[in-house]
Homo-oligomer: A and B are copies of this chain.
Amino acid sequence: MTTDPDLLSNARSERVRSVRSLGRRAVRERQRLFVVEGPQGVRELLSYAGSVARDLYLTPSAAERHADIVGLAEQAGVRVRPCTDEVLAAMTDTPHPQGMIAVAAPVDVPLAEALAAVGDGFVAVLTNVRDPGNAGTVLRAADAFGASAVLVSDASVDIYNPKVVRSTVGSLFHLPVSVGTPVAELLAACQAAGLRILAADGSGTTSLPDADLSVPHAWVMGNEAWGLEPEVRDLCDDVVSIPIVRAESLNLAMAATVCLHASSSRMLLP
């Protein structure tokens, strides 16, 4: 039993300031910690990556509603810290962290480890993706559609940004994610691992139904305007576009969803 008997009630304490400071990327990187908000994310963290979880802050009413999560935290040896609504609100920028947050160490793995997980499957590669919601949705789609890993280049949004973590709704903890590799190096490593590199880009001359998804492959998603730099495109084996009838283009999250669904349909589903 690691439950702290004392309710944390000082919203101006050093601890509160310290957790709140994890909203900043520089602090997250220096401290090697990040924040997971809300019961669904915390449950997935504890279930899939309990060893990186450090502290669970929750209100007494959330503890009552989510006894399963408190149980998972205790099993994982995580410190359970009851606190007031006010303390919780002061720890994050989120208007409603739904009664709990957890502080955890990073879950990303070295690129080689992520690539070793690919097997006969496919991966999602994020290059220059800047919007947290888009990055989160790509992670969620990769998870839902059974990608083997997600590889994030050095020029993308921080996957530990609270908005990314929130929008993955736990998917961040379900599959290997690597971060921080320069894109050229990342694609070279994919190629060396035997993956066919497919750029998803509205300008592609290969239409998605004609793309070869029968071999292990990597989907490269570019930045929000859904454009890939020419240098990156040149490193790809094929540039694939999604046939559309109207509208200027799909947004990044929609395009990634369609491409990863196509891979899942062709490689993984009966």
Per-position 1/0 for A118-155, Cβ under 8 A of B: 00000000000000000001001101111000000000
Q: Does A197 contact B (CB under 8 A)?
A: no
Q: Contact: A246 with B175, CB < 8 Å?
A: yes
A261 contact set on B, CB distance < 8 A: 242, 258, 261
Instruction: Choose one: B140, B244, B253; the contact of A145 (CB below 8 Å).
Output: B244
Q: Contact: A251 with B137, CB < 8 Å?
A: yes
Beta-carbon contacts under 8 Å, A237-255 to B: 242-251, 253-254
Q: Does A269 contact B (CB under 8 A)?
A: yes
Instruction: Choose one: B40, B140, B169, B248; the contact of A169 (CB below 8 Å).
Output: B248
Q: Contact: A245 with B268, CB < 8 Å?
A: yes
State the CA gap A268–B245 with chains docked (Å).
8
Q: Does A98 contact B (CB under 8 A)?
A: no
Q: Does A110 contact B (CB under 8 A)?
A: no
Q: Contact: A254 with B251, CB < 8 Å?
A: no
State the CA gap A175–B246 with chains docked (Å).
10
State the CA gap A202–B23 with chains docked (Å).
34
A13 contact set on B, CB distance < 8 A: none
- Minimum CB distance partner of A209 in chain B: B265
A257 contact set on B, CB distance < 8 A: 250, 254, 257-258
Q: Contact: A250 with B209, CB < 8 Å?
A: no
State the CA gap A137–B257 with chains docked (Å).
12
State the CA gap A141–B171 with chains docked (Å).
24
A137 contact set on B, CB distance < 8 A: 251, 253-254
Q: Contact: B146 with A254, CB < 8 Å?
A: no
A59 contact set on B, CB distance < 8 A: none
Q: Contact: A247 with B209, CB < 8 Å?
A: no
Q: Does A79 contact B (CB under 8 A)?
A: no
Instruction: Choose one: B144, B170, B250, B253; the contact of A245 (CB below 8 Å).
Output: B144
State the CA gap A140–B247 with chains docked (Å).
7
Q: Does A174 contact B (CB under 8 A)?
A: yes
Instruction: Choose one: B145, B243, B254; the contact of A141 (CB below 8 Å).
Output: B254
A interface list, Cβ under 8 A from B: 40, 137, 140-141, 143-146, 169-171, 174-175, 209, 242-251, 253-254, 257-258, 261, 264-265, 268-269
Cross-chain pairs A/B with CB under 8 angstroms, 6 sampled: A140-B250, A140-B254, A144-B246, A243-B264, A253-B253, A258-B258
Known: A145-B244, A171-B247, A174-B246. 17 other contacts (CB 8 A): A137-B251, A137-B253, A140-B254, A141-B250, A143-B246, A143-B247, A144-B244, A144-B247, A146-B244, A169-B247, A169-B248, A171-B246, A254-B254, A254-B257, A257-B258, A258-B261, A261-B261
